[in-house]
Structure 1
Amino acid sequence: MVLRRVVVTGLGALTPIGNNIEEFWNGLINGVSGAAPITYYDASKFRTKFACEVKNFNVEDFIDRKEARKMDRYAQYAMVASDEAIKDAAFDFDTLDRDRVGVIWGSGIGGLETFQIEVLNFAAGDGTPKFNPFFIPKMIADIAGGHISMKYGLRGPNFTTVSACASSTNAIIDAFNYIRLGHADAIVTGGSEAAVTIAGMGGFNAMHALSTRNDDPKTASRPMDKDRDGFVLGEGAGALILEEYEHAVARGATIYCEIGGGGMSADAYHITAPHPEGLGAKNVMLNCLRDAGLEPTDVDGVNMHGTSTPLGDIGESKAILHVFGEHAYTMNLNSTKSMTGHLLGATGAIEAISCILSLKHGIVPPTINHFTDDENIDPKLNFTFNVAQKREMNVVMSNTFGFGGHNACVLVKKLDYKA
């Protein structure tokens, strides 16, 4: 069977450092931190009092008020990002075969805020159940993809991947595979998350997973820095339009890049901690390279999972050295989470978009907030610390790893790149 080629023809983003693709990219290359004190609720009694919230966002600028009330914030974010991506792809809906266009979305948690509100309201009452009739449809993790498909009448494959922080990378890989196997001509894919809530922050604080650098939130996310103390929770959405190459060419679409391959693996080690030697991370990158039919020396850069946790950054750095050997020292590595925070299930989508924009513009976004080298991480690796670097990029990989040991990696390459 001949596998079909898959390209990217549309992008959309709603993030803590920009509410569309242009703003997001400008925030990345200028090293903007999205971290700030929490505004959604009174966080004064929480161990962590800051996060990377989406800013200057009014949902009614994008979605009718009545419809928006039927959606959790994570679904609202999905609708806004996917709308930008679909407009960017410039489909002619009069001729588009909507039976051949699907939606494969990712979210690690889904409607956490809706669940929190409904349960707290019940707990505050006299025990009489008075739940909102939209409680379940707003909460479930698959509903964002349902809303996208209903708005545009997309009747192709439609489902949601849930693999913690790897969710939207898994969604991209599934979309890639469905198209190259011939099950669809185009798919709206990506992910969204809105876990900056009392329950979300409280839960991650209880795990001691979050940074508690309350005196300086903007420098709290410090991937690869010796003094990193946990990740910074973020929120938002990223959307990509994946399309079969010939289908895109036939309609005159603008093509950003080609999806080269995708890899998946499991740590099979611990419910939250990564494998200390990066075993699953090593395997997922090797699997991705095999799927793409490329050698390690073909890769110019890796957008690392790089969450700013003490163990995770070390294990991933070891895995990169294992996979790429001496070539690792010639690559640009970076962690955009130093700016956006960790968007959980949406992180893979916005980081894949960052990789695609690096291919387009020849710029590698920085890993900001680096002050002190960690003796456990090879100092000869180029983590693109603090300042963006100009570099012609042909092939870039994006890593995402989730609680439960779920690992996913996607590779993007310039359309004309030949190994």
Structure 2
Amino acid sequence: MKDLIINEEKKQNAVLVGLITPEQNEEKVHDYLDELAFLAETAGIVPGKRFIQRLEIPNSVTFVGAGKLQEIKEYVTNENNNIDTIIFDDELSPRQIRNIEKELKIQIMDRTGLILDIFAMRAKTAHAKAQVELAQYQYLLPRLTRMWTHLERQYGGGGTIMRGPGETQLETDRRIILDKISRLKKELKNIDMQKSVQRKNRGKLVRVALVGYTNVGKSTLMNLLSKSDVFAEDKLFATLDTTVRKVTIENLPFLLSDTVGFIRKLPTDLIESFKSTLDEVREADILIHMVDISHPAFEEQMEVVEKTLFDIDNTEKPTIIVFNKIDAFTHVPQNSYDLTPKKRENYTLDELKQTWMGKLKENCVFISAKEKENIEELKSILYKKVREIHITRFPYNDFLYPDPEE
């Protein structure tokens, strides 16, 4: 873990490590490692071989057992494999990092560190950069070792910091980081105050927030509804800064915000650092929860989002669940014969609609933002929900927005 930010110019090769435990079965581990591989690719790392071990609990010293660690060591030390990094799917303790690095003598990363690196690469505005930097230093603080001597050179402005009597390099680095954390918190507090004033100046217009797991298509839908050009691509965390646009559906105006995507095992420090960004969720009147229905684990992704939303703001808000990417489903002819055992991941879209989703009725819609399929149906549902709130705030002009059911 010698670099906080991955060098984008040189592609690194990595192996991935995950554990099968009573809390996560083999199927889940493979799904998590698929996601970890996608995270690695987003960060410019080439994911390769995967090492999986079954344990009751992670080894407190080296995360994996001694035999598995030796197996990993033999693979990564083989020059023919050209491995630069080992990425673990769970957050490692400072002790585990030190012991693994001592044994393998190679760069070690965990899921949290990888996510922080991606956020650092994605941050474009001063606000986002400060948020990410704060989360990085909070993550780094308990993991300091003697290798962090470069922090003294990085300390801004007036040159290096002098050590006090008897102060070790580690203590100096720790003091530097604590100073940086204090400065960043003050900086973000000032930005939060400015953002709060901006939100108050938006008036009484109804606020709608797009929320969801990362890479489910929020920015693509934002572009469709607002006719804008918000950055969107098929990579994790393409959007960090909240974008707010004024949208009008059938003459009815409201504010639509696109928020940062959530992910499993999202670092707590990152959620705290992005507090002001997530204030858009707290102050929203309506939530649009976007879901990638083509993903095999979309229900678990929904649970992750719902839990994170509860942690941010445990008040219930009107929510429209938008099941996106229906274009990814293969349409099976009615007369075709499939003799393979029916599994959850083999359900057709029509079969999925007959499950618990059918009870959601008008609170959900199935779309393809990419193919612009069923967007008008979504607009109709959104119009109705926005109108219900809008006419309570502006009762004198409710005649401008007819009730679609009358």
| Structure 1 and Structure 2 fold alike (TM over 0.5) | no
TM-score by length of 2: 0.24
Structure with more contact order per residue of length (Cα contacts < 8 Å, sep ≥ 6): 1
Structure with greater Cα Rg: 2
